[in-house]
Amino acid sequence: MSEEPSSILSHVSLGTNDFARATAFYDAVLGALGIGRVMEHSGAVAYGRAFPEFWIQTPIDGQSAGLANGSHVAFLADTREQVDAFWQTALEEGATGDGEPGPRPIYGEPYYGCFLRDPDGHKIEAMVWEEDLQDAG
């Protein structure tokens, strides 16, 4: 029997109508989580720690990029400090806050996260799952 994959998703892509602004934003905020560019080509940049998991791209069909209301992308942090740095960096880079960093007990005692809208209006989040809080509960 082969080993189970550790993730259920290959990647997520968000469209932008301002590629330079979007890539500068994600270079900064994902950098706060230790995530960087792992692949790029004309009109698209992929971010990850090793594998291209998150893409920013211009629309390939000549249309304008739009928003998928009701969806969001959550980035996994290693520490609360990274979540806080993601929040602060995102605000400095033009995001709007949609939920300051803090515990979210409704999602479980170990959950600590923040919610924002990127400069294109996409819903994004950074979160950490603190196992020691789960074990203590």
In this predicted structure, the answer to whether residue 134 has a pLDDT above a threshold of 80 is no
Cα-based distances in Å from 50 to 6, 36, 46: 14, 9, 10
- Note the pLDDT tens digit of each residue in 29-76: 999 999 999 999 999 999 999 999 999 999 887 788 887 777 899 999
In this predicted structure, the answer to whether residue 1 has a pLDDT above a threshold of 50 is no
Residue with tokens 């189970």: 4
Q: How confident is the model at residue 6 (pLDDT cuts 50, 70, 90)?
A: low
Domain boundaries, the chain: 12-59+71-136
- The superfamily in CATH containing domain 12-59+71-136 is 2,3-Dihydroxybiphenyl 1,2-Dioxygenase, domain 1 (3.10.180.10)
Cα-based distances in Å from 65 to 18, 22, 68: 9, 12, 10
The percentage of the chain sitting over the pLDDT mark of 90, rounded to a whole number, equals 76
pTM of the model: 0.87
Give the pLDDT confidence score for residue 14 in this predicted structure. Answer: 94
Give the pLDDT confidence score for residue 118 in this predicted structure. Answer: 96
Give the pLDDT confidence score for residue 61 in this predicted structure. Answer: 75
46 has which bridge partners?
Answer: 39, 55
- Quickly list DSSP for the chain: -PPPPS-S-S-EEEE-S-HHHHHHHHHHHHHTTT-EEEEEETTEEEEESSS--EEEE--TTSSPP---TT-EEEEEPSSHHHHHHHHHHHHHTT-EESS-SEE-GGG-TTEEEEEEE-TT--EEEEEEE-HHHHHH-
In this predicted structure, the answer to whether residue 2 has a pLDDT above a threshold of 70 is no
28 closest CA partner among 45, 15, 50? 45
